[in-house]
Amino acid sequence: MTRINSPADLEKFRQGILSSRDSDKLCITLCSGSACQASGSGEVAASLEAEIEKQGLSSKVEIRKTGCHGFCERGPIIVIHPDETCYLQIEPVDIPEIISQTIKEKQVIERLLYSDPVTGKKIVHESEIPFYKNQERLVFGNNLKIDPKSIEDYLAIGGYAALTKALSEMTGEQVLEEVKKSNLRGRGGGGFPAGIKWEGARNAPDATKYVIVNADEGDPGAYMDRSLLEGNPHSILEGLTLGAYAIGAHEGYIYVRQEYPLAVDNVNKAIKTAEELGFLGKNILGSGFDFTIKVHQGAGAFVCGESSALMTALEGRVGEPRPKYIRSNIKGLWDKPSVLNNVETWANVTLIINKGANWFRQYGTEGSRGTKIFSLVGKITNTGLVEVPMGMTLRDIIFKIGGGIPNHKKFKAVQTGGPSGGCIPEELLDLGVDFDALSQAGSMMGSGGMIVLDEDTCMVDVARYFIEFLTDESCGKCVPCREGLRQMLKILTNITIGKGKEGDIELLEELSETAKEAALCALGQSAPNPFLSTLRYFRDEYEAHIKEKRCPALSCKELIAFYIDPEKCQGCGTCLKKCPTDAIIGGKKMIHIVDQEKCTKCGTCFEVCPTKFSAVTKISGVPVPPPVPEEERTVVKKSKEKQ
């Protein structure tokens, strides 16, 4: 490749790419992010390539493997351009039909379209599907358009224009001012204003400074940074380079977890091609500015997402946090001023410089500008990645975009902000989501995890689950976190197995205070949140577990029993056949009984009992009624009874 040495060179290069592309040519995009690969997009791609070859269309149809589209519930997704016909949940068997019908005959295949669950109406275009229609995809949108392995694709949609603009028309200080003016807040956790962080580093006297991408996303269920880095790596490189220019750094690092192999591949490939074309390296675009980026693979410790632990790990030492009484923008990596932001934040920087702070500020709320990508998972109809303006209500995100709770269950709470975030109950569904509103509600933005919980979820068990995760992921350096969490987990576990006692809640509160106030790093300080937020909104559940040994959600195994209602049992024998532990006593036309001694509470009987009978029930907090005497167990049909 020829090196691009000036903005004029770049424009010529871009025009060259655009003129070689025929916008009327058919292009099939297929999402190939990690989530879609797990649901088989690799096989779909192979059969797509083979079928196009077979039908002799190679010169007429282009295949583009893009990053994640976000609608992972319905992946793999195919979009056929220029018509933008969108097909969901594609399997290799569908490919011959797609090629012969849609590509050759321009016929839309109804059964592969999105069908509205309420009206049953079929939707042809991706952008009109409610999941997408209600989003504002400023950062994530380009994922759908480009092959992340192709720098030409990125350039074709205007890539590296922000960098060109900054290097040719702006000083580093002006870039900084623009970011400050945008009031961009870090998307990785704390929501610290990026511009202020950068300014500290810029003004620090050291000549050597660093910029770092935190791609150590490790929250259970969260994959927005992963999908961005996989799907649009150049936008991150561009943002990072802009940050380096603003603060005067010449070296940057991308700390990405090893468990993200596709992200590592794509970002390495992106760095290589960006270096070849002269977007990285010496004298970028002839401006005299030098900048290089190295990729560091993290070994998968959750705590390394904490900035000081990440920097310690980058230095080649054990990834433990250090006290941050001197901020890392003054004394960070190798004690040099270092600016660390997460993937999504850096991607926003590219947008801000491209379109200006004023443009950016029109999105979002007063205190939280722009959009935020959330990973919407759990008990939700449309699992996936959603990007919405800050301030959109939880209700809109969960019901309008997410499609609500499946299986006609009731919404109970949404857990936001990752393991050390909190649970927000139904009465706060109209909360507009931004950094401050979530904190006030006792949760936090975190990096944008959103786990939806339905009525079958026990909130004490949710707290126990997250505290267990954090106990496991604590680095173990300071006492309030290591020992405090160890004790909190023991108490919470006891509560969920019916061994809770008076005073447990108060003890948990005391342990929470110690961790919140005295732990060394943000992980420890925020670790009690899962307990504190569930206590705040669901105290009655804690009390029911402790005082009545009752689990109101009928979820904690040790506190529930399966019981067959003799009035409803028709002696069909389904549960008897399916029970893996032979814990069901019964016979033909006999009322079935659960042998509580043998029952392991696996719930199979509950699941298999025909809905028309619904005889198997879960009970908690009350003794199991004694079994019907053997001589009275014959099922009497109600109609016969009357005669």
User: Given the rule CB under 8 A, which residues bind another protein?
Assistant: 301, 303, 318, 322-323, 325-326, 471-480, 482-487, 489-490, 510-511, 513-514, 517-520
Give whichever of 327 and 409 is closer to another protein, judged by the CB atom: 327
Q: How far is the CB of 377 from another protein (least distance, A)?
A: 25
User: What is the closest distance, in whole angstroms, from the C-beta atom of residue 318 to another protein in the complex?
Assistant: 8
Which CB, 9 or 483, lies closer to another protein?
483
Give the pair of three-digit tokens for residue 536.
């705040």
* Residue closer to another protein, measured from CB, 179 or 303: 303
**Least distance between another protein and beta carbon 539 (Å):** 22
**Spatial distance between the Cα atoms of 495 and 474, rounded to a whole number of angstroms:** 22
CB of 498 to another protein, least distance (A): 18
**Residue 25 has which token pair?**
């040519």
Least gap, CB of 314 to another protein (angstroms): 18
DSSP letter at 401 equals I
Q: How far is the CB of 490 from another protein (least distance, A)?
A: 7
CA atoms within 13 A on the CB side of 569: 30
Minimum CB distance to another protein, residue 302 (Å): 10
Report the nearest approach of another protein to the CB of residue 470 (Å). 8
User: By C-beta, is 315 or 540 nearer to another protein?
Assistant: 315
Which amino acid makes up residue 147?
Answer: D
Q: Using alpha carbons only, how large is the chain's radius of gyration in Å?
A: 28
CA separation for the pair 546, 499 (Å, rounded): 7
Q: What does the buried/exposed string (b/e) look like for 472-493 if buried means 16 or more CB atoms within 10 Å of the residue's CB? A: ebbbebbebbbebbeebbebbb
* Nearer Cβ to another protein (167/475): 475
Instruction: Identify the three-state secondary structure at position 9.
Output: helix
Pick between residue 178 and residue 320 the one whose CB is nearest to another protein: 320
Short-list 275, 234, 250, CA closest to 3: 275
Give the C-alpha separation, 165 to 90, whole Å: 41
3-state helix, strand, coil in the chain (%, to 5): 45, 15, 40
In the complex with another protein, the residue whose CB is nearer, 524 or 627, is 524
Distance, CA of 509 to CA of 506 (rounded, Å):
5
| Contact between 189 and 448 (Cβ < 8 Å) | no
The distance from CA 86 to its chain's CA centroid, rounded to whole angstroms, is 23
Residue 475 or 576 having the CB closest to another protein:
475
Q: Is the Cβ of residue 518 or residue 602 nearer to another protein in the bound state?
A: 518
105 C-beta neighbours (distance < 10 Å), count? 9
DSSP string of 75-130?
-S-EEEETTTEEE-S--GGGHHHIIIIIIIH----GGGSEE-TTT--EE-BGGGSH
- C-beta closer to another protein: residue 156 or 479: 479
Q: Closest CB to another protein among 301 and 450? A: 301
CB of 303 to another protein, least distance (A): 8
Locate 483 and state its tokens. 């020992």
HEC letters along 277-301: HCCCECCHHHCCCCEEEEEEEECCC
According to DSSP, the β-strands at 292-298 and 251-257 are: parallel
In this structure, what token pair is assigned to residue 33? 């992010």
Rank residues 213 and 303 by Cβ distance to another protein and give the closer one.
Answer: 303
Match 């003799």 to its residue by tokens: 566
Q: Of 344, 296, 50, whose CA–CA distance to 42 is shortest?
A: 50
Query: Cβ of residue 56: shortest distance to another protein, in angstroms?
Result: 58
The distance of closest approach from Cβ of residue 482 to another protein in the complex, given in angstroms and rounded to an integer, is 6
Task: Tell me how far apart the alpha carbons of residues 580 and 582 are, in angstroms, rounded to a whole number.
Answer: 6
Minimum CB separation from another protein for residue 572, in Å? 48
